[in-house]
Amino acid sequence: MTSAVEAVTNALAEIERTEPLVKAWVHVDAAAAREQATGIDQHTSANQPLAGLTVGIKDIIDVAGMPTVAGFTPFADRIATSDADVVQRLRTAGAVIIGKTTTTQFALADPTPTRNPWNLDYSPAGSSSGSAAAVAAGHVDLALGSQTAGSTLRPASFCGIVGFKPTFGWASRTGMIPLADSLDTVGLFARDVMSIARLFDALADPDVERAGEIEPAAPPRIGFWEDAASLATDEVHNLVDAALARAIQSGVSVEPVTSPADYRDLLAIHHVIMLVDAAAAHEKLFQTHVNAYGPRIRMAIETGSAIAAHTYARAQLLRREYRDQAVRDWSRVDVVALPTAETPAVPLDTTGSPALQAVVTMFGLPSISIPAGLSQDGLPVGLQLVATSPNGNASLLRVAAWFERLLDDLPTPPTAIR
């Protein structure tokens, strides 16, 4: 069994070797990581389920003694004085914090310098670009991100790893810079579902059901979200269809399900909520430092500021109504399946479209992306699985583990940096 010190030594060596290519980190604290690892090796207890595992933290989440810049120049000298709640829970569970990973500015859409480990000419997506790339490149075992539209699942899909957005409010966001308060969710990255489950159990609030040891699940009942999936390219659609065909061959039933309203209307509702929430969160800072904002988030804040209060209130009402209808309509299946993203990884000047992740985020339903195959260009494509209940975190993880075993012959990241 690898000691924590050995794990940290290996992680730092891998970062030194490939970080100049991948650019996943904004801050690495090697000394603190080695010191923490030494303490873990000397005092590991049975209550530390993540003992010795290395973790990267998205740079909107505070780690005591490290900068939290959020891609914002005026925050260049901002040093966190305490850990975010989720970081403290990581430490209690025995994980070793390696450092801070890149984020698009304030977790919206202006791209970072980070590159996709599968092909350095492509984007790892965003906003949790560094977290996904660091896991895919083998820099760390685990990473924390966030999702307000698609910032965990899409990077997981583009980078060929597992990304999990649990139910809204599953873990404390204290110590995390907000983007949209009614949407922001802590997201998780790893290279397999079991690691995701262990990380989820270590960080979840006390009233959230734990996943525990994931036992082999019975073949699930799957609903295929047809109108949402139609937004994906033919190549992505075909790869997801092939993964579902393998499930059918294993005795699984797949039936069509649809949105509770026109899918593009649902996207518009999410967009209104996110923009107004972002404008509210950044009102004072934006007035003081407007020229330091990137073009995409600046446009988002300006648009959100112009949306009428009654429009926002109506959007929140429709959000609740359509979520409740979706839960009712989908109750006959265990999970809903669709492509994670419309395309494989995109060029570096964008982070890709959140269209296939944003509605699930708005509904607050747990969702997970697992690798489903490779495009003709050798880029990963993700299969997205969505729980049909807000409390379905554990059951979703069991179904994801079932699919992971079914698709266990897929390539593992990375390829471009070897």
Residue that is written with structure tokens 């990267």 in the block = 56
Which residues participate in catalysis according to the annotation? 58, 127, 151
Q: How far is CA 407 from the centre of its chain?
A: 21
Nearest to 184 by CA among 12, 7, 391, 358: 358
| Burial (CB count <10 Å: 0-12, 13-18, 19+), residue 284 | exposed
Q: Could you tell me if 115 and 23 are in contact, meaning their C-beta atoms sit under 8 angstroms apart?
A: yes
User: How much helix, strand and coil, in percent to the nearest 5, is found in the chain?
Assistant: 45, 15, 40
Q: Specify the length of the chain in residues.
A: 418
Contact status, residue 47 vs residue 95, Cβ threshold 8 Å: no
Query: Terminal CA-to-CA distance of the chain, rounded, Å?
Result: 25
- 99 sits in the region (left: phi over 0; alpha: psi -120 to 50; else beta) called left
